[in-house]
Structure 1
Amino acid sequence: MSQEVRGVVSRRKGAPVEVTTIVVPDPGPGEAVVRVQSCGVCHTDLHYREGGINDEYPFLLGHEAAGIVEQVGEGVTGVAPGDFVVLNWRAVCGVCRACRRGRPWYCFNTHNAARKMTLTDGTELSPALGIGAFAEKTLVHAGQCTKVDPAARPAAVGLLGCGVMAGLGAAMNTGQVSRGDSVAVIGCGGVGDAAIAGAALAGATTIIAVDTDSRKLDWARKFGATHTVNASEDDPVEAIRAATGGFGADVVIEAVGRPETWKQAFYARDLAGTVVLVGVPTPEMKVELPLLDIFGRGGALKSSWYGDCLPSRDFPALTALYLQGRLDLDAFVTEEIALDQVEEAFTRMHHGDVLRSVVVFP
């Protein structure tokens, strides 16, 4: 039987979001209903509100979430009612060409729930990243539910569902940072700081944080940065080279998503080094470089989508590191808010006042 719950909906481009009643149907085959305990406020939700993803309004926002499985549909065996889960937007299919090649983190046919959540008048909702977790309950594909240790704090581990995983994975999975490496991270918001934390966890000995905001550089030090560069005062490329013996960093992670900062990353890496783009650009952005520079510097130019993570592998492992005190996910939670405070949280996020605001449900 369907349920009526409160959720945050974006009805049209640029308009303030609203808390309204939504209808969550019973799960169909392969689906699950999850009672949401926490959901982080991510830039992607703001992109949805602003029409930067698509125009399939109304959107049910929210996707960085943790909660308890309440119901499962026919054929679901991986999770059961009562399981504590972190939601993911990359439920792998297991049969596409990427999955068959043993690279499921590149899955080209990921799953979402087939049944639709709606407004009370029957209008179908588009859930953000196939999740829609700014709601007391949500309907997802069962593969989007990753079981983790229930001892973990929902507001902290829920952030693995998107931004924190993107940054950690950019360093550990895509960049393959290893012991003794030098790493530079350009852009020290939530994703960039997670990349710094991932580099520290992987054993990097020199970690250089670059931003134009001194507050963010202070945050970066807490996550493991050994050097900081204020790009409004110093040339980032020269500063990164100076901190690495004149050579450049082994891995440079660009967490802004702009052509000028990507070019800084390109020239700030050592010969045969790696550049990882995890910041999200807009469609009109272009980069022009001398082809000889690309050839002559060698190495690798990579993009990192969701930190090249495999949720079933990475979420439980990272949750275990959190519970062991080796990964401070709590440090990413700047504030806990109520469901009706999401619009104000967007403003604070846009101004760079928070790493993450997290909606916590009673």
Structure 2
Amino acid sequence: MSQQVSAVVARSKGAPVSLETIVVPDPGPGEALVRIEACGVCHTDLHYREGGISDDFPFLLGHEAAGVVEAVGDGVTDVAPGDFVILNWRAVCGQCRACRRGRPWYCFDTHNARQRMTLTDGTELSPALGIGAFAEKTLVAAGQCTKVDPAASAAVAGLLGCGVMAGIGAAINTGGVGRGDSVAVIGCGGVGGAAIVGAKLAGAAKVIAVDIDARKLATAEKLGATHTVNSRETEVADAVRELTGGFGADVVIEAVGRPETYRQAFYARDLAGTVVLVGVPTPEMKLELPLLDVFGRGGALKSSWYGDCLPSRDFPMLIDLHLQGRLDLDAFVTETIALDEVEKAFERMHHGDVLRSVVVL
């Protein structure tokens, strides 16, 4: 039997979000019903509200979440009612060409719930990243649920569902940061801050934080940056080379998603170094680089999808590191808020006042 719950909905482009009653169906085959305990307010949710992802309004926002499985549909064996889970938006299929080649983190046919949640008038909702977790309960594909140690707080565990995983994974999985490497991170919001933490976890000797906001640079130092560069005041590539013996960083992680910051990343890396783009561009953005410079510098230019993570592998491991005191996920939670305060959280995000606001239900 379907249930009615409260949820945050974006009805039209640019309009303030509203708290609505939605209808959540019982889980069908391969699906799970999850009671949400906490959900981070991610910049991607704001992109949805602004129409930057698609125009498939109304959207059920929220995707960076943790909660407890309440019910599962036929054929579900990996999770069961009562399991504490982190939700992910790349539930691998196991059958596509990437999965068959042993690269499931690139899965090209990830799963979402087949049934749609609706408004009370029957209008179908588009769940953000196939999740829709600014809600008391949500319906997802069972593969989107990753069971983790329930000793972790939902407010911090949920952050692995998107931004923190994207940043840590950009450093460790995509960038391949190793012991003794030099790393520069351009853009020190939630994802960039997590990339700094990831570089530190991987054993980088030098982690250079780059941003235009002195507050974010101060936070970056607390997260493990060894040096900071204010790009309002200093040319980035010159500053990074000066801090790396004149060479440039081994790995440069671009966590903004703009052509001008990507160019900074490209020229701030060492010869044969790696650039990782984890910031999300908007559709109209274009990049122009001299092809001879691309050829002449060698190395690798990579994009990081969700930190190239495999949730079943990475989420439990990172939660274990957190519980051991080796990964301070609490450092990313600036504030906890109620479900009806998401719009205010978007405003604070615009002003750069938070790493993460987290809705706690």
Q: What TM-score, normalized by structure 2, do the two folds share?
A: 0.99
CA drift at 1:285: 1.3
> Which amino acid is 1:18 matched to?
S
Does 1:209 find its partner at 2:203? no
Amino acid at match of 2:232: S
Post-superposition shift, 1:152?
A: 0.3
Q: How does 1:318-333 map to 2 (within 5 A)?
A: 318-333=318-333
Q: Which residue of 1 aligns with 2:109?
A: 109
> Which range is displaced more, 261-270 or 287-296?
287-296
What letter is aligned with 2:40?
G
Map of 1:149 onto structure 2: 149
| Cα displacement (A) at 1:292 | 1.3
In the TM superposition, residue 157 of structure 1 has moved relative to its aligned partner by 1.0
Could you list the per-position Cα deviations for residues 178-232 of structure 1 after superposition, in whole angstroms to 9, with x for gaps in the alignment?
0000000000000000000000000001000000000000000011100000001
> Where in structure 2 are the equivalents of 1:1-362 lying within 5 Å?
1-361=1-361
Shift of 1:94: 0.1
Deviations 1:117-159 (A, max 9, x none): 1111111111000000000000000000000000001000100
SS of the equivalent of 2:239 reads: helix
Q: Distance in 1 between matches of 2:214 and 2:145?
A: 37
**Counterpart AA for 2:243:** A
Distance (whole Å) between structure 1 residues aligned to residue 249 and residue 278 of structure 2: 17
Paired with 1:288 and 1:59, the residues of 2 have a C-alpha distance of 34
Q: Which moved more, 1:143-152 or 1:286-295?
A: 286-295
Task: Encode CA deviations 1:83-118: one digit per residue, 9 max, x unaligned.
Answer: 000000000000000000000000000000001111
* Cα distance between partner residues in 1 of 2:282 and 2:76: 38
Structure 2 counterpart SS, 1:261: helix
Instruction: Give the whole-Å Cα distance in 1 for the aligned partners of 2:285 and 2:60.
Output: 28
Q: CA deviation at 1:284?
A: 1.6
Which stretches of structure 1, 4 residues or more, deviate above 4 A after TM superposition?
none
User: 1:329, CA displacement in angstroms?
Assistant: 0.5
CA distance in 1 between counterparts of 2:268 and 2:226 reads 17
SS of equivalent to 2:65: strand
Amino acid at match of 1:262: Y
Any gaps of 5 or more consecutive residues in structure 1?
none
CA distance in 2, matches of 1:20, 1:225: 42
d(CA) in 2 for partners of 1:143, 1:100: 17
1:57-108 Cα shifts (integer Å, max 9, x gaps): 1111000000000000000000000000000000000000000000000000
**CA deviations over 1:308-327 (Å, ceiling 9, x no partner):** 00000000000000001111
Query: In structure 2, what is the Cα distance between the partners aligned to 1:259 and 1:73?
Result: 45
The percent identity for this pair of structures is 81
Deviation at 1:350, TM superposition (A): 1.1
State how far apart, in whole Å, the 1-side matches of 2:165 and 2:183 are: 18
In structure 2, what is the Cα distance between the partners aligned to 1:280 and 1:20?
Answer: 29
User: What is the letter of the counterpart of residue 354 of structure 2?
Assistant: V
* 3-state SS in 2 of match to 1:122: coil
Deviations 1:236-274 (A, max 9, x none): 111100110000000000001111111111111001100
- Any idea what SS the aligned residue of 1:207 has? strand
Q: Aligned pairs, how many?
A: 361
CA distance in 1, matches of 2:133, 2:283: 27
